[in-house]
């Protein structure tokens, strides 16, 4: 399981002209699922993400979590995080999980993050999504479990 976690001032996801997710301060999480990933991977990762101290406190130090600031999250499925570009110029995605494993695990990931106290929305699995965000900082964290 791989995640790109971006601290955002705002973010939204649009599919075919319809806005399907939108948040103010919080996290935009691009999530890739591998074939060996399980709910336990998702549980460990969501616990870590909910507690990551990447928001500024009153002393302007990164010392607060998304929960501490009352922020939200959007989770966007991103199989391209498993791109293998070592050979040729066309990425291979054989390292990504099949949709029948990935789709329910992305949904479960969002549920688990919500259970961690982070209101969480999602994009639409398998759809062409337009993701709009304002990365604050910028702060971008790569996390792999």
pLDDT in 10s for each residue of the chain, 145 residues:
999 999 999 999 999 999 999 999 999 999 999 999 999 999 999 999 999 999 999 999 999 999 999 999 999 999 999 999 999 999 999 999 999 999 999 999 999 999 999 999 999 999 999 999 999 999 999 999 8
**Residue 122 falls in the annotated catalytic set:** no
- List the domain range (segments joined by +) for residue 71: 2-144
Residue 118 is predicted with a pLDDT of: 98
Which of 6, 14, 46, 78 is an active site residue?
A: 78
CATH number at residue 85: 3.50.80.10
Please confirm, yes or no, whether 46 is among the known catalytic residues.
no
- Contact by Cβ (8 Å): 21, 123: yes
- Collapsing DSSP to helix, strand or coil, 113 comes out as helix
Which of 9, 80, 93, 140 is labelled catalytic? 80
Kindly report the pTM of this predicted structure.
Answer: 0.96
Give the count of domains, the chain.
1
Q: Is 79 a catalytic residue?
A: yes
pLDDT at 127: 97
Q: What is the pLDDT of residue 109?
A: 98
Which one of the listed residues 6, 79, 109, 116 is annotated catalytic?
Answer: 79
Say if residue 50 is exposed, middle or buried (CB neighbours under 10 Å; 0-12, 13-18, 19+).
buried
């Amino acid at each position: 399981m791989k995640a790109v976690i971006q601290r955002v001032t705002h973010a939204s996801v649009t599919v075919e002209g319809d806005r399907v997710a939108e948040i103010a301060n919080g996290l935009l999480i691009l999530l890739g699922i591998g074939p060996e990933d399980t709910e336990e991977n998702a549980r460990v990762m969501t616990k870590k993400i909910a507690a990551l101290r990447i928001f500024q406190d009153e002393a302007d130090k990164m010392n607060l979590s998304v929960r501490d600031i009352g922020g939200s999250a959007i989770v966007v499925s991103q199989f391209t995080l498993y791109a293998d570009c070592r050979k040729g110029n066309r990425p291979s995605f054989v390292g990504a999980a099949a949709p029948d494993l990935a789709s329910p695990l992305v949904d479960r990931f969002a549920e688990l993050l919500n259970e961690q106290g982070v209101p969480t929305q999602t994009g639409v699995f398998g759809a062409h999504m337009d993701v709009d965000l304002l990365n604050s900082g910028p702060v971008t964290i790569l996390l792999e479990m």
